[in-house]
Structure 1
Amino acid sequence: MNKVIIISNASSTHTVRWVNAIALKKFDVYLITQHDVMKGVSKNVNVIKLPFSGFKGYFFNVFALRKIIGELKPDNIHVHFASGYGTLALNARIKYLLSVWGSDVFRFPQQNKLNKFLLERVLNNATQIFSTSFAMKDETLKYTSKDIQVIPFGVSPDLYSNPNYSERSGTVTFGLAKVLEARYGVDTLLQSFAKLKKETDIQLKLEIAGDGPERRNLEILSKKLNIESSVKFLGWIHNADLHKFYKNIDVMVVPSREESFGVVAVEAGAAHLPCIVTDVGGLPEVILHDKTGIVVPVDDVYLMSRAMHKLAKDKPLRIQLGQKAYNNVIVKYDWNKNVDEMCNWYERGK
């Protein structure tokens, strides 16, 4: 059996989805991490916790990692996140595949020259680099000339059901599922929603799934904007339950200021929902303007509000864009196909 070591953050739902899916493909999977292990990791995945955590772990865990690899003798070592676990792999002087995640290439090298130098070394020592979007690939190519394969972080379409619009009330519900951080532009969404509320008689709601450091500020903002009665902050929803959230939504809005890929927009498409997104990162790849949704400039309250109004008043258009979004997901972002593509790379390395 092909033995694969994945070195990644075990507190991330993205990591858990990858390791669980690969284990189902009859690989012998070992997840090595210095993070706490979140619930949901399959019993078919062997989890090994490194002794040191935090920043120092990317340096002090070198000998423990080399010992584990020497004992396991894996066919493949796949490192996720260049600036953290990539640093550990580089220090351990091991042969590795590398997946970039987003902030490790969009923000980390911008902070100082040392980070830029470190990222370049991590990238150039990888035997193969993977990105989930072409936008992130282009950003990564600023720091390396190595080949980068784009394998999206897709979804399982069968987990999402086509909303039954005939059972809906007259209210149009906008939705967002995101960590509540400043870089995701939720304040812009609230301002756009407030503007739309003032300009139309359509009954509107906004439901926000997620939690984070900006939640309190966003709740205060919704009160200042006089929209608190129409906005629900639902808190964190487990990934396995998100399909229930999407069933209550008519239009998804992703107002991000920074986005490496845009899995929320992919999930919306799988749920047959049109999506309004900003023109940053991988979002314009996922949402095709006026075909599967609407793309607006980042932080543009006026144009985001106009896009929301356009979809709020036109139910047939919402259904049409939602169906095309679903078709796009089936072709490009089917999770099983994405996992198979990654597994093909593991087979090459055996």
Structure 2
Amino acid sequence: MKIALLSASSSIHSIRWANAFAERGHELHLISLPSHAKTNHLISEKVRLHFLPVPTLLGYYLNSIAFKKILREIKPDVMNAHYASGYGTLARFSGFSPYVLSVWGSDVYDFPYKSSLHKRIIRKNLLAADRICSTSKVMAEQVRFLCPEISRIEITPFGIDTGIFKPAFRNQQTNTITIGTVKTLAPKYGIDTLLHAFAYIKERMVKKDSPVNLRLMIVGGGPQERELKLLSEKLHISKNCTWIGKIPNHEVPKYLNQIDIYVALSRSESFGVAILEASACGLPVVVSDAGGLPEVVVNGVTGFVVRRESPEEAGEAIMRIVENTDLRESMGRKGVEHVKSLYDWQENVTVLERILQDRSKGV
């Protein structure tokens, strides 16, 4: 199958899809704006890379002629655009069919609500596709809310490579428990809620005269870094916090395997890829009830789901895991089983592969 993948070549998610299809023997053409050219060293040599001439946001409109020319040259069996706003607009202008559109998150959660014009653009882009794909059920419902006319939406989870994300040896003799997260330091990800939850736990543990030493590891960079570090000082937990900063994607497993309990208290999430990565590494998880996060957690089995904006409820859930070694180990083990059964990357690639094959045949 000859596939035209219209997506940001700088995104690790785009790279993983492109590499997966190319490795399966498909002729994969990744077409991207030049402003999305970084991290190309991660792209397989089997992927054929094309850059459109106009960078920045205007490129989604001004690259139409150049994009059509590329499509005429490669003559793909099917086109798959990722992200309904920018690349979805360019895909619509091409008029190419068969065309599968994959929505990602902020393209359907945030972009349509910037103005009535933005909502009209998204609706047009969604309706122009022959098939819509979503990584989560909750995001599929958001698409239906924007476009009630769309009845069929395929669920294509963004799975985990369990050969990379897997449990590592842990020193069980230490009395230090590390609570951690791997997230961008931005308001939507609720790192401030995590800090308040950790302060709540620390106070409770001190009152209990617990022998457990608690550590909070925050992996990631972002616009809130200074603000959050100041908050940790205000909450008197700065000495317990380790700020790793932004890391490349290939180092994520290394840091996950330094964590004992993974926590994500986001205010908004389209899908819980980071949660699945943590579960695949054998970590019990505590997540907020935001967006697609509850979909990837078996509540009470692989972790706990708590109300967003509730540091006390999150703190209580984390403490249950901290204080119960058997529960911690059980949730970690069940998390690995859960990921392998439902979110294995190769199985998820097969799902999208079948959708693209069906569309290329007019099914």
Do they fold alike, i.e. is TM over 0.5?
Answer: yes
1:40 is matched with which residue? Answer: 42
Deviation string 1:219-259 (CA, Å, 9 cap, x unpaired) is: 22112222111111111222222111111111000111010
Partner residue of 1:130 out of 130, 133, 137? 133
* Residue in structure 2 matched with residue 116 of structure 1 by the alignment: 119
TM-score by length of 1: 0.97
**Structure-to-structure mapping, 1:183-202, within 5 angstroms:** 183-200=188-205, 201=210, 202=212
Q: Deviations over 1:2-49 (max 9, x none)?
A: 111111111211111111111111111111111223241111111111
The whole-number CA distance in structure 1 between the counterparts of 2:320 and 2:200 is 13
Aligned counterparts of 1:85 and 1:340: Cα–Cα separation in 2: 23
Aligned to 2:13: 14
Equivalence for 1:160:
165
Which one of the candidate residues 65, 68, 71 is aligned to 2:67? 65
Matches within 5 A, 1:209-288: 209-288=219-298
- What is the CA distance between 1:167 and its match in structure 2? 3.7
Between the aligned partners of 2:65 and 2:230, the Cα distance in structure 1 is 48
* Shift in Å, 1:160: 2.7
Report what 1:26 is aligned to: 25
Mapped partners of 1:152, 1:133: distance in 2:
6
Per-residue CA shift, 1:255-292, capped at 9, x if unaligned? Answer: 11010001011011111111000001111010121111
Aligned partners of 2:288 and 2:173: how far apart in 1?
27
Question: What displacement does 1:64 show?
Answer: 0.5
* Partner amino acid, structure 1, of 2:115: N
Is 1:107 aligned to residue 110 of structure 2?
A: yes
Q: Which amino acid aligns with 1:317?
A: L
Q: How far apart are 1:161 and its partner, in Å? A: 3.0
Alpha carbons 2:100, 2:356 under 8 Å: kept: no
Task: Give the superposition deviation at 1:87.
Answer: 0.8
Between the two proteins, what is the percent identity of the paired residues? 37
Bigger shift: 48-57 or 127-136? 48-57
Q: Does 1:52 align with 2:64?
A: no
Q: State the distance in 2 between where 1:158 and 1:122 align.
A: 36
SS in 1 for 2:4: strand
Alpha-carbon distance in 2 for matches of 1:104, 1:68: 25
- CA distance 1:28–1:193, shift in 2 (3 Å): same
| Distance of 1:244 and 1:264 partners within structure 2 | 14
Give the structure-2-normalised TM-score: 0.93
SS of residue matched to 2:275? helix
Residue 86 of structure 1 is matched in structure 2 by 88
1:286-318 Cα deviation digits (max 9, x unpaired)? 012111100000110110111111111111101
Amino acid at match of 1:32: I
Which residue type is aligned with residue 72 of structure 1? I
1:166 Cα deviation from its structure 2 partner: 4.8
Between 274-283 and 320-329, the greater mean CA deviation after superposition: 320-329
> Which one of the candidate residues 165, 175, 178 is aligned to 1:173?
178
For residue 54 of structure 1, give the secondary structure of its aligned residue in structure 2.
coil
Judging changes above 3 Å, is the alpha-carbon distance between structure 1 residues 168 and 47 closer, same or farther for their aligned structure 2 residues?
Answer: farther
Q: Deviations over 1:39-62 (max 9, x none)?
A: 411111111111112211111000
Q: Secondary structure at the match of 2:43?
A: coil
* C-alpha displacement of 1:150: 0.3
Shift of 1:80: 0.3
SS of the residue corresponding to residue 55 of structure 1 reads coil
| TM-superposition CA deviations, 1:317-338 (whole Å, max 9, x none) | 0111111111111111000000
2:13 partner letter: H
Q: Partner amino acid for 2:37?
A: D
Q: Of the candidates 280, 302, 312, which is equivalent to residue 302 of structure 1?
A: 312
Tell me the equivalent position of 2:331: 321
Alpha-carbon distance between aligned partners in 2 of 1:109 and 1:74, rounded to the nearest angstrom: 30
Q: What do you get for the CA RMSD once the two structures are aligned?
A: 1.3
Stretches of structure 1 lacking an aligned partner (at least 5 in a row)? none
Is residue 141 of structure 1 aligned with residue 144 of structure 2?
yes
2: CA distance, partners of 1:88 / 1:227: 48
1:163 CA drift (Å): 4.1
AA at the equivalent of 1:171: T
- 1:292 alignment partner in structure 2: 302
CA apart distance, 1:164? 3.5
Matched residue type, 2:317: A
